[in-house]
Amino acid sequence: MTITQNQTNDLIFYVSSSLANPYYLVRMVNQTTYKEFAYIVTDLASCSFVVAQMTEPGVAGVDDPVNGTIKLDSGYYYFYLYDQSSSTNLDYTLSNELLLTESCYVFSDEDLNRVFF
C-alpha cells in the first residue's frame, strides 16, 4: 500500500467488523524511527470492504487526526487497522479489534519527482 504526501488518499481494505456502525482507527509506526501516528479514517462504502479516505496535508498543512488528516514523514511504515465504536478515540488499546496488519510506504513530493533508471 502507498500513501502520498500532500493529497487525499483512498485506501481499500477487505475486512469486516463485528460492530454495527464501526469507525476505523489507523495506527502507523515508522519502521526506522518508530514514531507512531494515529488517525480516524472515514469509510466511504457500505459493503463487504472498507473504502477509506485519509488526507496527508503536506508541510504547510494542519493535523486533524480525528477527521482523517495527518502529517506523515516519508518512509516505510507498519500499518494497523482497528475498528471501534468511538468517532474520536485515537488510542488503539481502547479499540474493539485489530482487523488488519500490513506495511506501507509514504511517498514525498520529492520521491514522486525522481527519475529512476
* Nearest Cα to Cα of residue 65 among 92, 96, 41, 99: 41
pLDDT at 68 over 80: yes
Can you list the positions of beta strands (E) in 2-111? 2-4, 7-13, 23-30, 36-43, 50-56, 75-84, 97-107
Domain segments of the chain: what residues?
A: 2-109
Distance (Å, rounded) from C-alpha 48 to C-alpha 8?
23
The pTM (predicted TM-score) of the whole model is 0.87
Over residues 8-27, the pLDDT tens digits come to 999 988 888 889 889 999 99
Distance (Å, rounded) from C-alpha 68 to C-alpha 40?
5
Over residues 82-111, the pLDDT tens digits come to 999 999 999 999 999 999 999 999 988 666
Task: Dig out the grid coordinates for 103 from the structure.
Answer: 506495511
| Residues in Cβ contact with 47 at an 8 Å cutoff, skipping those fewer than 6 apart | none
Instruction: Write the single-letter amino acid at 30.
Output: N
| Per-residue pLDDT, 109 | 66
| Per-residue pLDDT, 110 | 66
Distance (Å, rounded) from C-alpha 29 to C-alpha 80?
9
2-109 placed in CATH 2.60.40.10: yes
